[in-house]
Structures are given as structure tokens and as C-alpha cells.
Copies of this chain bind each other. A is one copy, B any other.
Amino acid sequence: MKIGIDAMGGDFAPDAIIEGAVNAASQLPPDIHIVLIGKQDVINALLEKYNYQGSQIEVVHAEEVVEMGEHPTKALSQKPHSSISIGFKLLKDKQLDIFCGAGNTGAMHVGALFSIKAIEGIIRPAIVGFVPQKKGGHAVMLDIGANADCKPEVLEQFGVIGSIFAQQTFQIERPRVALMNIGEEEQKGSVVAQAAHQLLKDNTRIHFVGNMEGGDMFDDKADVIVTDGFTGNALFKLAESFYDVAKERGIQDDFIDKMNYESVGGSSIIGVNGNVMIAHGISSAIAIKNMITWARKQVESHAYVQIAKALS
């Protein structure tokens, strides 16, 4: 397996990326390789700094870097030799099993759509966030930011692809799918949420358990939380901030620690023909290391293959 990482993406890149990769490499079985994509000399100097002696980390040179503030589509067309462009080229050519990056989120998203492309039949690919559950494990929530406006049919499809993703990632036979809403009764919510509720309820491919509310997010009411990318993004960021509140208040707690963005380290783009994970711009070495662990799981889950099968 080859896990590709954009070595140049993120506020603390390339240093934090290389450190995270070196720490991850020491814990991976020998057949799993990490491919660092970026400025070769810079990466090599950092591999030396972090005293890396092994053979599981490879370096692929990329001359250019997409900066955080750049316009995604423009940047990718003007910088074909950027680490993001090259990463997606390698992914498309099956020289990588997954491509991960903590850089410009828009460019990662557009890069995925332009290279490996959306799976046929997918209305909108989505970003899946992992939400820790009180009783252990995670639920997946989608979308957490790719699509601020979602039609009911898009939310319905999130239910279907989120269900397959949860099935494959967590080995759950019949994932429970819930719709984020502002009341439990089916006639509650926005016009879109009401219509989506009916579509999800009538969809025989999923196990729809009804609406859930913001306060239920950690309560193991569902394995898949369906929501538009506006609500999902706001909720996900608020949940992450709870860890920051606890930390500032000197509170250490195993469950709250799981709300730390570093704990999973990344979110998956699903609905595309391949494996892609994106991470926070602020990603630390720990976050990168943990993302690599999840990246491996995602490759092994074959979720995107199953999603493509289900839609064909």
C-alpha cells in the first residue's frame, strides 16, 4: 500500500508533515509505504532532522506549492507541478492508494474532482467527518463542508453513500442513518429537511432511523448522520472546539480528547473514484500521524469501490 501525503500543505508544513510521517512509518507494517510529495531537498533535510533511516518513506519531487489563500481551480491549472497536482496525478495513475493533504481544502476538493472524478451517479461528493460516540467508536457525519446548499436528493444520496462508507469502515452490517434536524417528528425542520426525511424514509437501501438533533451527536443514535455542508460544518467545528474549551480549563478526559481534531487527524472525501483525506490547515505532527493511520483503514475498507458498485 502507498499512502501519499502532500508534504507542503498546511500551516506547519513541511516540518509537521515530515515529523508526522516519520512517526507513523515506525508503526506501520513493512509493506505500507508513505510517499511524501513536495520539494525534495527540503523533505530530505527534514527526514534527516527527524533521523529517519528506514525504507518505508519515499519522496516524489514537486517544484510548486499551492498556497492556502489561492483560488483552487486557478491554482491547479497554473501549477501543474504543485504537490497537490502531482499527488492527484499519482492517485489517478494508481501509483498511490490514497492521497492526503492538509493544504488548501478547496484545491484538494477540486483536485479530486478533476483527476479521479466523481463516481458516475454521484450528484455531489461530500466530506465525511468522524464524530466520537459516548459508548465508543465513531459515527460518520456528511457533509461537513463541501456543499453549503444541498437539495433533498443530495441529502438522500448522502444517506446511501454514508451508509456504505460506515459499513465498510466499521464493519457494521446495517448502519443506522439519521437526518440532522430540529425536532424528532418528521414534519419538523426546513423545507429541504422535511423533503429529505421522506426520501430517506422511502429509500429501501438504507436503515433510516429518523431525525436527530444537535444535542444527540455523541449519543449513539446513528452510525451515519446526514446533513448539509453548512449545518454539518458548523456542528463539527463546534464539537471540535469543545476539546479546546476543556484543554483551556485544564480538563483531561478520554472522551473529550476524542473531539480533538488531532485524534482522527483528517476527513474523507467520498463519492469520488479513489481515496482522499483532507486535514486541518493547523495540522500538527500528531494529527498527520493519526491521519495516516486512518488513511490505511480507508484503503483497506474499499469503500469507494463499494460505493461505485452500488451506484452502477
- Give A residues with C-beta under 8 Å from B: 134, 145, 148-149, 180, 182, 188-191, 193, 213-219, 228-231, 233-242, 244-246, 248-249, 251, 253, 255-256
Cross-interface CB contact of A242 among B188, B216, B242, cutoff 8 Å: B242
Cross-interface CB contact of A218 among B189, B215, B235, B245, cutoff 8 Å: B245
Question: Contact between B189 and A148 (Cβ–Cβ < 8 Å)?
Answer: yes
User: In the complex, given contacts A182-B233, A245-B255, what are 14 additional A-B residue pairs having Cβ atoms less than 8 angstroms apart?
Assistant: A134-B245, A148-B189, A148-B190, A148-B193, A149-B191, A214-B236, A214-B238, A216-B241, A230-B231, A231-B231, A235-B238, A238-B239, A249-B256, A251-B251
Measured CA separation A233–B190 after assembly (Å): 11
Measured CA separation A293–B14 after assembly (Å): 54
Copies of the chain in the assembly: 2
Whether A215 touches B231, Cβ cut-off 8 Å, given contacts A134-B245, A149-B191, A255-B249, is: no
Question: Contact between A180 and B214 (Cβ–Cβ < 8 Å)?
Answer: no
7 shortest interchain CB distances as A-B pairs: A214-B234, A214-B237, A215-B237, A214-B238, A215-B241, A148-B190, A182-B233
A251 to chain B: which residues have CB within 8 Å? 246, 251, 253, 256
A215 to chain B: which residues have CB within 8 Å? 237-238, 240-241, 244
Cross-interface CB contact of A189 among B217, B230, B237, B238, cutoff 8 Å: B230
Question: Contact between A230 and B134 (Cβ–Cβ < 8 Å)?
Answer: no
Question: Contact between B182 and A145 (Cβ–Cβ < 8 Å)?
Answer: yes
CB distance from A185 to the nearest CB of B (A): 9
Question: Contact between B255 and A148 (Cβ–Cβ < 8 Å)?
Answer: no
Measured CA separation A189–B149 after assembly (Å): 8
Measured CA separation A242–B217 after assembly (Å): 10
Measured CA separation A215–B237 after assembly (Å): 5
Whether A230 touches B148, Cβ cut-off 8 Å, given contacts A214-B236, A237-B215, A241-B214, is: no
CB distance from A75 to the nearest CB of B (A): 15
Name 18 interchain pairs, CB-CB below 8 A, sorted by A.
A148-B190, A149-B191, A180-B234, A182-B229, A190-B228, A193-B230, A213-B234, A214-B233, A214-B234, A214-B237, A214-B241, A215-B240, A234-B234, A238-B238, A242-B242, A246-B256, A251-B251, A251-B256
Measured CA separation A241–B218 after assembly (Å): 9
Cross-interface CB contact of A256 among B214, B233, B245, cutoff 8 Å: B245
CB distance from A257 to the nearest CB of B (A): 11
Question: Contact between B145 and A230 (Cβ–Cβ < 8 Å)?
Answer: no
A253 to chain B: which residues have CB within 8 Å? 249, 251
CB distance from A69 to the nearest CB of B (A): 9
A191 to chain B: which residues have CB within 8 Å? 148-149
Measured CA separation A200–B238 after assembly (Å): 23
Question: Contact between A237 and B213 (Cβ–Cβ < 8 Å)?
Answer: yes
- When C-beta atoms are compared, the residue in chain B nearest to A188 turns out to be B148
Measured CA separation A215–B236 after assembly (Å): 8
Measured CA separation A271–B98 after assembly (Å): 52
